[in-house]
Amino acid sequence: MPPSRYLAFDYLDRRTPAPEPPLTLEEVRRELGWALIAAERQTHAEADERN
């Protein structure tokens, strides 16, 4: 006799790992290298001001 569907759902819920929360905006920016882009632009802007 197969288990009830409720027992099957409970089993699958226990076996399925919880999804990870989405990345924060800061983590996305870090992974995309946005800080590096901003730093590079700042360096160029400072160089332009000196010239």
Question: Is residue 51 within 8 Å of 43, Cβ to Cβ?
Answer: no
Our count of domains for the chain comes to 1
pLDDT value of residue 8? 86
The answer to the question of residue 6 being in a domain is: no
Express each pLDDT in 8-23 by its tens digit: 888 888 887 778 888 8
Confidence of residue 31 (pLDDT cuts 50, 70, 90): confident
The answer to the question of residue 10 being in a domain is: no
The answer to the question of residue 8 being in a domain is: no
| Percent of the chain scoring above 70 in pLDDT | 100
Cα distance between residue 13 and residue 19, in whole Å: 12
Host domain of residue 39:
23-51
Question: Is residue 37 within 8 Å of 45, Cβ to Cβ?
Answer: no
